[in-house]
Structure 1
Amino acid sequence: MPSSLSDFEVLYTIGSGSYGTCKKVRRKADGKIFVWKEMDYGAMTESEKQMLVSEVNLLRELRHENIVKYHERVVDKKRQVLYLIMEYCEGGDLGEVIKRYERDGRHFEEDTVWKTLAQCASALNECHKRKDGKSILHRDLKPANIFLDAQKNVKLGDFGLARVLHETSFAKTFVGTPYYMSPEQMNKLSYNEKSDIWSLGCVLYEMCTLRPPFLASNQRELAVKIRMGQFNRLPARYSTELSRLIGRMLNVECNARPSIESLLSNPHISKYLPGSIFLPKTGVTASSQATKDSTEVAERERKCAQTELQLQEREVMLKEKELRLEKLEKELAKRFMQLEEQEKQLEIGKEWRCIKDAGLQARDLNIENRPNINEVTTNKPLTPILNRAKRLPDSPSKHVSFEESKGKENKVMSIHTEIASRREKEATFFALRERERNNTEYQRRKELRNRLEKAKHRATQLRAAEVETRMRNNLLIAN
């Protein structure tokens, strides 16, 4: 007989969101604790109602130990409210645990990360590999939708955005939480089960670093970072195997990401799964050979990761050196301009002093040889002087002599000649010094440019080597 609302006692509200409200309830008959998801379908659009019906149908079909169990539903037709009675997870959700660890300065142990990966992969395997040939994509895999029971086992829940896909089909709708969306979802392209693998990689990365792999201030910037697929390495406390596996799950090429089968067959993951259903069905010899191959691949990955780390460190050093060279070049250019300005001011001052000295000397000559008009006009009458000048045989009225004027002119010319030669010597001196300085600065700047070009070329070579190393690693991992 179906239950009614009166069969349950509401204890308290767990949380609420756009979907509705979650409350912790107790069944009066046996005292068992459940969670009901309260959703008002009267205010929903037709598409939202269809999504709600899809979620209920999915929850009824999915029966797995790592998926939140659906018990029953209660419909209040008068209030148009649907109550989904679900399994109660005492450990809360993974998002709350991550926030608590970040607040307390703690970190997840690597075994916990491997266990979470194994149980989430097992739950996704149940969704992706249905017996009826259909696949169910979760499409909103994030820490807030991963719940924990009392034994800290993972329970995957909240299938409100899930979609049923037939074999070889691809979804095209733009849904999910942006921080955990795959590149193909950001590009609004078709996507399949590998999109959930990307989201799971984001969750594992956040467990290791306590922050999502891609952060941005707006959705456009976030989309750019996700399309590039570049993120920081995991902390050194985690093994190379875990780091490399998360890196493969966060590959921007969906075909390069591991499948659910390859994840479950990984020796680090299969040991956390109960029973032997997900363990490799091989003999002892094959198992030992697989372990040996896995060890060799791990060693190669470790060496490649070490080489990659060295290349990154060298690239950082080259960038710092390049910045120092650019700063030095700017300082030299600024100093060169200051010297040029000072020399121009010195040349202008010297030319002005030369002209001023020449003018003062010429004025002094004119003043020294100029007759005193006051003496001529005041001491002696002008008429007797003129009459006597007419009577003298050597007076200027009879004989004109240019020796005195020539002497004055020669003296002025010699002064001008000396000034001109002095200017010429100074100009030659400044020209030689400018040429020497220009040659020295030119050689220095040329040397700096050559060093800068070599540094850029070396950085390019290192980036090419890094890309080649990554490609080689991908080939090794694929093989």
Structure 2
Amino acid sequence: MLKFQETAKHVAAARLHPACSGAVVARRYSFVRKLGSGSFGNVYLVSDRRAKQGEELKVLKEISVGGLKPDETVEANLEAELLSRLEHPAILKFHTSFLEQDSFCIVTEYCEGGDLDSKIQEYKESGKIFPQRQILDWFIQLLLGVSYMHERRILHRDLKAKNIFMKNNLLKIGDFGVSCLLLGSCDLATTFTGTPYYMSPEALKHQGYNTKSDIWSLGCVLYEMCCLRHAFTGHSFLSVVLKIVEGATPALPAPYPSQLNSLLCSMLNKNPALRPAAADILQMPYIEEQLKVDLAVQDKALGWQKGAAPISVQRKVHLQTLQELSEVQKMTPRERMRLRKVNAADEKAKKLKQLTEEKYQEKIKRRQELRTQSCQQLSPGALQAVQHQPSEDIQSQGSLCAVNSSLPSEIPEDPETAEEYYKAEFDSCSEGSEEEEEDVEASQSLSKAEQQV
């Protein structure tokens, strides 16, 4: 039996099975309804009791641990680990994961727009097509998400329309159930997983695959958005495989520009080494021009009102990030590790500097408060007493001069004597003495002010 056909056979029934909506799991998530079935279990729409208003709806994916093989259990844990480390607008947001009875549960954000495959089928049945501007917007969003994953050495390995979700007209990549974390820049995975319609020639021939295999799958998704059908079709599995491995590269119909068709052909090149990386595609003149056009249209439509400026800044930051990303990808693993360490050290130094500045400002503020309190506590009677005691002040000043004259003018040569000398010096510079001197100065200044009045 073929791998992609027997996937459903291994799906074990999860033990949660909420009998009705309202059942609660983990004393937090209330079941609303069942959304469908994934690679290893069921998917439910749940309501989070602890979430903020308007953010209650989430998706809970349950995986029956008892029915999984050891390697499949590892894959479920790996999916949760990968999602927890990915934070990007084009990637499904991970909330938490936990074990409930014999089920491993993963909670992610809810995309009310459904998946891209359903949207494609909806347009196909109604006889409509996606506007070219919309296709390019979605394609660039997916490119940004794939580039983000690949820069972190993560392969998706099952990128298809069903695993791309829609929320507020934005696409989000999800279902990392067969993702692979690369251990080297040129690592090749060899497991036969994924949907055949989106699988690359090297994966079908068991030659392994790397990031360029995700680029092939993304090219298939691009063709499907443009033509509302699979790039490679057939009546049987073997016919699909033959078209992918030996067939001609499909071309886009006439309404689409030649630049987009050339890009698609490069992504569907039989040789993975000749396929462009996601970061390289984002730097192509045609894609960069589309980004600029999209930015200009948004700026004109919003008239630089509230919200327009942040969008513009975000787009510019994307372009700068892509340029920096291309430079990083040219580095060796050792150079990347050194760069990460330098960046981490710079970030730590920046935080320490900020903390020091905050502490310094707090200390200044505290001293000002102490001075204000000492001034407010002085009564008129105390001021008069201070005014009538000039002789005592002179005597105290004389005693201070005597003390100062009694101190040695030079540092003693004897170690023990020098240690006592330093100890006395440090004790005289304590914070308490400074505060006392400040209080005396404040009282003296107030007495002078009273005399002038």
- TM bucket by the smaller chain? 0.5 to 0.7
Match of residue 64 from structure 1 = 88
Match of residue 223 from structure 1 = 241
- Cα deviation for residue 6 of structure 1 reads 2.4
Tell me if structure 1 keeps the 8 A contact 2:156–2:180: yes
| 1:252 is aligned to 2:270 | yes
Match of residue 144 from structure 2 = 122
Q: Quote the Cα distance in structure 2 between the aligned partners of 1:232 and 1:129.
A: 29
- Cα deviation for residue 275 of structure 1 reads 2.7
Tell me if structure 2 keeps the 8 A contact 1:69–1:86: yes
Alignment of 1:363-442 (within 5 A): none
Q: Quote the Cα distance in structure 2 between the aligned partners of 1:13 and 1:206.
A: 27
Give the match's secondary structure for 1:56: helix
Aligned with residue 34 of structure 2, among 6, 10, 13:
13
Q: Quote the Cα distance in structure 2 between the aligned partners of 1:45 and 1:18.
A: 13
Match of residue 158 from structure 2 = 140
Match of residue 74 from structure 2 = 50
- Cα deviation for residue 28 of structure 1 reads 2.0
Alignment gaps of 5+ in structure 1: 284-479
Tell me if structure 2 keeps the 8 A contact 1:229–1:250: no
Q: Quote the Cα distance in structure 2 between the aligned partners of 1:144 and 1:65.
A: 18
Match of residue 376 from structure 2 = none
Q: Which has the larger radius of gyration?
A: 1
Tell me if structure 2 keeps the 8 A contact 1:115–1:269: no
Alignment gaps of 5+ in structure 2: 1-23, 296-313, 324-453
Match of residue 37 from structure 1 = 61
- Cα deviation for residue 161 of structure 1 reads 0.6
- Cα deviation for residue 138 of structure 1 reads 0.4
- Cα deviation for residue 4 of structure 1 reads 5.6
Structure 1's 281 and 28: CA in aligned 2 closer, same or farther, altered over 3 A?
closer
Match of residue 199 from structure 1 = 217
* Offset from partner CA, 1:169-209 (integer Å, 9 cap, x none): 11122111100000101111022100000000000101111
> For this pair of structures, how many residues does the alignment match?
274
Q: Quote the Cα distance in structure 2 between the aligned partners of 1:105 and 1:161.
A: 34
Structure 1's 163 and 281: CA in aligned 2 closer, same or farther, altered over 3 A?
closer
| 1:73 is aligned to 2:97 | yes
Aligned with residue 175 of structure 2, among 158, 161, 169:
158
Which one-letter code corresponds to 2:225 in the other structure? Answer: M
Structure 1's 282 and 158: CA in aligned 2 closer, same or farther, altered over 3 A?
closer
Structure 1's 105 and 68: CA in aligned 2 closer, same or farther, altered over 3 A?
same
Which one-letter code corresponds to 1:69 in the other structure? Answer: K
Q: Quote the Cα distance in structure 2 between the aligned partners of 1:72 and 1:282.
A: 30
Aligned with residue 25 of structure 1, among 29, 40, 46:
46
Match of residue 275 from structure 1 = 315
Q: Quote the Cα distance in structure 1 between the aligned partners of 2:275 and 2:95.
A: 35
* Offset from partner CA, 1:375-405 (integer Å, 9 cap, x none): xxxxxxxxxxxxxxxxxxxxxxxxxxxxxxx
Q: Quote the Cα distance in structure 2 between the aligned partners of 1:16 and 1:264.
A: 34
- Cα deviation for residue 15 of structure 1 reads 0.8
Structure 1's 72 and 5: CA in aligned 2 closer, same or farther, altered over 3 A?
same
Report percent identity of matched pairs: 37
* Offset from partner CA, 1:217-259 (integer Å, 9 cap, x none): 2222211110124144312221111111111111111121111
Match of residue 407 from structure 2 = none
Alignment of 1:298-309 (within 5 A): none
Tell me if structure 2 keeps the 8 A contact 1:169–1:192: yes
Q: Quote the Cα distance in structure 2 between the aligned partners of 1:18 and 1:259.
A: 28
Q: Quote the Cα distance in structure 1 between the aligned partners of 2:223 and 2:192.
A: 23
Which one-letter code corresponds to 1:116 in the other structure? Answer: W
Q: Quote the Cα distance in structure 1 between the aligned partners of 2:114 and 2:76.
A: 23
* TM-score, length-scaled by structure 1: 0.55
Q: Quote the Cα distance in structure 2 between the aligned partners of 1:8 and 1:282.
A: 39
* TM-score, length-scaled by structure 2: 0.58
Q: Quote the Cα distance in structure 2 between the aligned partners of 1:137 and 1:182.
A: 13
Q: Quote the Cα distance in structure 2 between the aligned partners of 1:52 and 1:28.
A: 25
Q: Quote the Cα distance in structure 1 between the aligned partners of 2:234 and 2:58.
A: 37
Give the match's secondary structure for 1:275: helix
Tell me if structure 1 keeps the 8 A contact 2:75–2:178: yes
Match of residue 106 from structure 2 = 84
Alignment of 1:292-303 (within 5 A): none
| 1:96 is aligned to 2:136 | no
Give the match's secondary structure for 2:276: coil
Give the match's secondary structure for 1:148: strand
Give the match's secondary structure for 2:97: strand
Tell me if structure 1 keeps the 8 A contact 2:66–2:102: yes
| 1:235 is aligned to 2:260 | no
Structure 1's 159 and 17: CA in aligned 2 closer, same or farther, altered over 3 A?
closer
- Cα deviation for residue 18 of structure 1 reads 3.7
Which one-letter code corresponds to 1:158 in the other structure? Answer: D
Give the match's secondary structure for 1:55: helix
